[in-house]
Structures are given as C-alpha cells and as structure tokens.
Amino acid sequence: MLCTRIRTALSARLDGEELPPGLTARRLDEHLADCRDCRRWEERSRALATGLRRAAERAEDDDPAAADALLARLRPGSVRPGPVPPGSADSGGKRAG
C-alpha cells in the first residue's frame, strides 16, 4: 500500500469526507500502526486542521462584527434592513392610557 494513497485517505477522513474506494478506516489504522511516517503526517495534518478551526472560532469571539461582515461578503444578495414605509408601522414609543 502506497503511503501517498494512505495520506490522501487520511486527509479525506480528517475533513469528514468519504474514503477513497478500496480503503477502509481499518486499513488506515493498520497502516498507521506500521508506518511511523504516515502517523506523523496525520498528526501534523490534524494539528493544522484543529489550529485552523480554533483560529476561526477565536476570530469570532474577538470580533463578532468581523465574522458578520465576512458572512455578508460571502452572500452577495444579502438582505439589509431598509427604511420602513410610512403607514405600515405602528407609532412606536407612545402608549395609550
């Protein structure tokens, strides 16, 4: 079994994608048990994936507005609150009685 094929499958598994045909999770684990190179490779890939996710989460924590802006940019036809046409809204603030 070629290490490159194993790593392709490992990468898919880390991404939550389906494994390439002919490869099973068990096969991967067996190879990892034997191949230290691939084990290291997976560790690094996992660390990278985790790091990216953490960075994204932290960015949201630090600045929610930035995350919103990013989402807005990803959606070109985003809805924005326009001015309310007169007559359709209640006169807010006033209370009867």
Which residue ranges make up the site for Zn ion (CB under 5 A)?
3, 35, 38
Decide whether 26 or 75 has the Cβ nearer to Zn ion.
26
Decide whether 3 or 47 has the Cβ nearer to Zn ion.
3
Query: Least separation, in Å, of the C-beta of 29 and Zn ion?
Result: 12
In degrees and rounded to multiples of 5, residue 43 shows phi and psi of -60, -45
Query: Least separation, in Å, of the C-beta of 45 and Zn ion?
Result: 13
Decide whether 36 or 80 has the Cβ nearer to Zn ion.
36
Angle at alpha carbon of residue 91, lines to 86 and 96, rounded to 5°: 155
Whose CA is closest to 32, among 21, 22, 43? 43
Query: Least separation, in Å, of the C-beta of 16 and Zn ion?
Result: 22
User: How many whole angstroms separate alpha carbon 51 and alpha carbon 64?
Assistant: 19
